[in-house]
Amino acid sequence: MSTLTTHEPARGVLRSRPGRTLTALAARDVLLLRRDVSTFVTRTVMQPLLFVFVFAYVLPTIEGGRSVFSAAGTSFATILVPGLLGTAMILSGIMAVTMPLIFELSYNREIEDRLLAPMRVELLALEKILWGAAQALLAALIVFPAVYFVHAPGQAPQVHVAGWPMFVTVFVFTGLLSSSVGLYLGTLVDVRKINMMFAMITVPVTMLGCVYYPWESLAPIPWLQYAVLVNPLVYASEGLRASLTPALPHMPPYVFLTVLVGGSVLFGLLAVRSFTRRVLA
């Protein structure tokens, strides 16, 4: 009869293998995503798909081919591609980290299951940031075909990658910024305040994120043009606009690159510190 206490795995009990622990945490995240992939895809694609359907197909068709809004002689569909990609990334990155964390920290403190894994707590926080960023990138890949292919006849978005290094930097750091902000929010928001968080954060971030217009076109409303600069989605939209639709007006690259990279580092550090303080009583 075998014993409960002495067993093959016990031989390795004194060795920490953070690489294997991180891989196992990531494997768990991937398993949960695969198990619920239809929810992820539906949640990610529904809003941008319906948006382009109405504003890039239905309205221009009703208006006899005239675009609802245009800039620099391009169609509204062209403006929407980077904006909606940025929205999908920022919201997915935030939600992918914030929602599970709020539940892990509430009621039974399910987070203890992961806190007892043999690695530093800071690494657990880092894994959450990386996984959130991966989901943000995945969201962009899912949303891209919808916002690229759905448009009125003759109003195809004019999209091309202006420069791969800048595009990859914007893409990766938009994911990292969103998940870092998500982790930070998750350590601050109480489970009873989730609905308020949606109302206070996701709606203003989306509506005032320079998704439906380039930042430059806000010039007639100067106070708003400067007020929206607190919104991370503005830099994601403008960065993707500069990378994918360079013909449209956009911020200078040094501005959005500084904010996306600097913001990822700053919020990453803040989030890891806040997470460590919150989980270790």
Partner 1 sequence: MSLADGPAVEARDLRKTYVTARGEVPAVRGVDLDVPHGEFFGLLGPNGAGKSTTIGMLTTLTVPSAGVARIAGADVVRDPVAAKLRIGVASQNNTLDRQLTVAENLEFRGRFFGMRGRQARARAAEMLDMFGLTARSRAMVYELSGGQVRRLMVARALMHAPPVLVLDEPTAGIDPQARFNLWQVLRRLHAEGQTLVLTTHHLEEAEELCERVAIIDHGRVLICDSVPGLLDVTGQPDLENVFLELTGREYRE
Question: Which residues are at the interface with partner 1 (CB under 8 A)?
Answer: 2-10, 12-17, 20-21, 23-25, 27-28, 31-32, 35, 107-121, 279-281
Per the rule left: phi > 0, alpha: psi between -120 and 50, beta: everything else, 252 is: beta
CA 83 to CA 204: how far, in whole Å? 14
CA 134 to CA 130: how far, in whole Å? 6
CA 46 to CA 143: how far, in whole Å? 9
Nearest approach in angstroms of CB 157 to partner 1 is: 38
Structure tokens at 35: 């198990």
Indicate the residue among 118 and 163 with the shorter CB distance to partner 1. 118
- In a 10 Å sphere around its CB, with 0-12 CB exposed, 13-18 middle and 19+ buried, how is residue 12 labelled? exposed
Nearest approach in angstroms of CB 115 to partner 1 is: 6
Indicate the residue among 111 and 234 with the shorter CB distance to partner 1. 111
Nearest approach in angstroms of CB 33 to partner 1 is: 11
Contact between 176 and 262 under an 8 Å Cβ cutoff? The reply is no
Nearest approach in angstroms of CB 25 to partner 1 is: 7
Indicate the residue among 8 and 223 with the shorter CB distance to partner 1. 8
Indicate the residue among 160 and 281 with the shorter CB distance to partner 1. 281
